[in-house]
Structures are given as C-alpha cells and as structure tokens.
C-alpha cells in the first residue's frame, strides 16, 4: 500500500498501531537504539513514556497515575513531536493509535515533507488467548478484561487513505523474512 506523494525519505514519521502487549514499545526501543548506534538523531514520542516517569516520581502504580496524568502526558508527547518537526528530525511514535480519529489527531501535526509510515502490530490468531492472559496479568500495566474488550472493539486497522505513505504489517513482514 503506497501513497502517491514523494516525501523526503530522511524525514520519517513512524506510527506504531496495535493493541497493548503486541510488541510496539519493544520495537520502538530497538529502532531508537539503532538510530543511536548509527549516530542519527530521532525523537521517541510516547505518552506512556511520561506516564511511566510520573509513576516513579510519585511512587504510585501505573493504574493510579494514568487517569490523573494522561492529558499532561499527551501534551508533553505532542510537544516532542512539534520540536522534532521544527528540527526536521525523524519521529518514532509509540502508542495504541487504534482509531482513525486518534491517528488523525497525530498525523495532523506531521507536515507533508515527512515520509509517514504506519506499522501494524497484530495479535496472531492462534495466540489470542495467551496474549489476553499476558495483558490482563501484566506486572506494571494490567488491564481488566472489560477494558481489553473495549479496546478490541474500537480497533480499526490503518490504511494509506488516512495520510500514510505506507502501512506495514510488522508481524506478517517478520514471518516473510524468516
């Protein structure tokens, strides 16, 4: 899936899309590390990154901090994105991004010169039960079955027509490369 625009390949905006526990943050951290090794600047934009900082600062569990500070964390994350855009720096955005509206809010902050890529992180069909068990029983960020079900029902896969230059199914791509 490819858009017809011709953005600057060096200015990439990568948006991870997927339900909790599908590997988005692990993938992002590996990408950030690769940028560091290659001595290339990049911005890691994640509201969760700030929520985790708040949990440490206030010595409270994630589930208590999240509702109190999510708006602040979102504002800080969008500030990170705006600063990266001003500097023309590649952006790696880590978040659920499971609705068209959520993706639109973030894509609206990315100018036309950026190469916009959505990375889709799916749960393999044969691993749904194990995945749900891991997410519900996560040590730091547990979700209730109800919340997990709500997130699943809200989920809409990204498409190029939303403004992406490419939409890549990460799990499918990894299986093909093996």
- What is the CATH number for 58? 3.40.50.300
Our count of domains for the chain comes to: 1
CB atoms within 10 A of CB 38: 8
Element containing residue 80 per DSSP (H, E): helix 62-87
> Tell me, what's the pLDDT at 5?
42
178 residues of the chain, pLDDT tens digit each: 444 444 455 799 999 999 999 999 999 999 999 988 888 899 999 999 999 999 999 999 998 999 999 999 999 999 999 999 999 999 999 999 999 999 999 999 999 999 999 999 988 778 888 889 888 988 888 888 999 899 999 999 999 999 999 999 987 554 443 3
Residue 89 lies in a domain: yes
Spatial contact of 28 and 105, defined as CB atoms under 8 Å apart: no
Residue 130 lies in a domain: yes
Cα→Cα distances 117→5, 51, 75, 134, 164, Å = 12, 25, 22, 28, 6
For the entire predicted model, the pTM comes to 0.87
Spatial contact of 16 and 24, defined as CB atoms under 8 Å apart: yes
> Tell me, what's the pLDDT at 177?
38
> Tell me, what's the pLDDT at 86?
96
Residue 35 lies in a domain: yes
Range(s) of the domain holding residue 124? 8-177
Q: Which residues contact 151 (CB under 8 A, 6 or more apart)?
A: 19, 20, 96, 98, 143
Residue 2 lies in a domain: no
> Tell me, what's the pLDDT at 6?
46
Tokens standing for residue 114: 């950026």
| Residue 172 three-state SS | helix
Instruction: Give the residue among 163, 168, 136 at the shortest CA–CA distance from 152.
Output: 136
Q: How many residues belong to the chain? A: 178
Spatial contact of 151 and 20, defined as CB atoms under 8 Å apart: yes
Residue 56 lies in a domain: yes
Residue 75 lies in a domain: yes
Residue 120 lies in a domain: yes
Residue 3 lies in a domain: no
Spatial contact of 177 and 171, defined as CB atoms under 8 Å apart: no
Spatial contact of 106 and 97, defined as CB atoms under 8 Å apart: yes
CB atoms within 10 A of CB 34: 11
């Amino acid at each position: 899936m490819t858009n017809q625009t011709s953005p600057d390949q060096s200015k990439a905006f990568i948006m991870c899309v997927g339900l909790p526990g599908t590997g988005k943050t692990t993938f992002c951290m590996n990408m950030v590390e690769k940028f560091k090794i290659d001595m290339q600047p990049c911005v890691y934009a994640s509201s969760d990154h700030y929520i985790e900082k708040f949990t440490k600062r206030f010595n409270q569990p994630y589930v208590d901090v999240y509702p109190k500070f999510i708006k602040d964390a979102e504002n800080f994350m969008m500030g990170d994105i705006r600063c990266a855009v001003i500097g023309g720096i590649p952006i790696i955005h880590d978040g659920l991004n499971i609705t068209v509206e959520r993706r639109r809010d973030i894509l609206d902050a990315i100018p036309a010169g950026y190469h916009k890529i959505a990375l889709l992180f799916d749960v393999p069909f044969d691993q749904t039960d194990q995945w749900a068990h891991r997410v519900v029983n996560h040590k730091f960020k547990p979700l209730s079955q109800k919340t997990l079900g709500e997130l699943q029902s809200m989920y809409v896969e990204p498409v190029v027509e939303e403004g992406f230059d490419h939409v890549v199914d990460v799990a499918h791509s990894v299986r093909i490369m093996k």
